Amino acid sequence: MSAAASETVATVIRELVDANHILFDQGVVDGFGHVSVRHPDRPDRFLLSRSMAPALVTENDVLEFDLDGNPVVPNGPAPYLERFIHGEIYRKRADVNSVVHSHSPSVVPFSVVTGATLRPVCHMCGFLSEKGTPVFEIRDFAGPGSDLLITSGKLGAALADTLSEGPAVLMRGHGSTVVGSTLRQTVFRAVYTEIGARLQMEAMRLGPVTYLTEEETIGTTKTISTQYDRSWFLWLKAARNSPMSR
Ligand code: MN
């Protein structure tokens, strides 16, 4: 690997560490959940922390995986049980370069109530599908007695199929997975998927909800797409000033 290439990888790893800390500080992940980024030089690989709480991740904890979820360097530290989520989505979606899997709490009710569909209620959530966010039912693939986790390539591929071409997929009784073309866009989407779910639940208690039209989802997404850095640097400063980072 050339010096320039290795510098690119080092920069991506530093941003991935920042993303881990931001997602904790913004309440998307807790002790669980993870964020990955596609390898900048090897599209058939991705970068993801070893199994640990995201808020505690450092550059030394980031591992490289192939799309089957195997660590490129064998006999290393324990990887996340659900790393197959990432590899199978990168395999299916050439447009995706980052993935966040979380159990962010406001999203989970939409995964368990039949007829309650997560949809875009405000401009910051305009990236969500106007037709509704799909729900992955693991019983259809792992039977009635699984632990609900995506612990194999087979389950990861089924989840990627349910995600289809969309930005997010809910996982029944478990959480959600959000994707994007860049790390910063994906972190933005993960934060606003949680906020959008909370706003939609509050709106539903008041009465019938007016959702964004398909044209409004396109318009709002186009405008916001130039603004990700604005929240990124705010959230990064907040994460670095958090008592957790001292
Ligand atoms: Mn999980």
The token pair that represents 16 in the structure block: 């991935």
The token pair that represents 216 in the structure block: 């409004």
What percentage of the chain reaches a pLDDT higher than 70? 98
Residues designated catalytic? 82
Is 228 domain-assigned? yes
Is 242 domain-assigned? no
Is 74 domain-assigned? yes
- Cα of 44 vs centre of ligand 1, distance in Å, is 23
Is 246 domain-assigned? no
Helix (H) or strand (E) holding 228: helix 228-241
Classified as helix, coil or strand, 46 is: strand
Give the structural domain span for 233: 3-237
Q: Are 179 and 186 in contact (CB under 8 A)?
A: yes
**Residue type at position 148:** L
Residues 78-123 have pLDDT tens digits of: 999 999 999 999 999 999 999 999 999 999 999 999 999 999 999 9
- Cα of 149 vs centre of ligand 1, distance in Å, is 6
- Cα of 82 vs centre of ligand 1, distance in Å, is 7
Q: Are 48 and 34 in contact (CB under 8 A)?
A: yes
Neighbouring C-beta atoms of residue 58, cutoff 10 Å:
12
Is 244 domain-assigned? no
CA angle 108, 67, 153 (to 5 degrees): 55
Is 243 domain-assigned? no
- Cα of 174 vs centre of ligand 1, distance in Å, is 6
Count: domains in the chain: 1
- Cα of 216 vs centre of ligand 1, distance in Å, is 31
Is 155 domain-assigned? yes
Neighbouring C-beta atoms of residue 241, cutoff 10 Å:
11
- Cα of 31 vs centre of ligand 1, distance in Å, is 11
Residues 43-66 have pLDDT tens digits of: 999 999 999 999 999 999 999 999
- Cα of 103 vs centre of ligand 1, distance in Å, is 6
The CATH number for 91's domain is 3.40.225.10
Where residue 2 falls among pLDDT bands split at 50, 70, 90?
low
Is 229 domain-assigned? yes
- pTM of the entire predicted model: 0.97
Distances (CA, A) of 144 to 62, 169, 189, 222: 34, 20, 31, 41
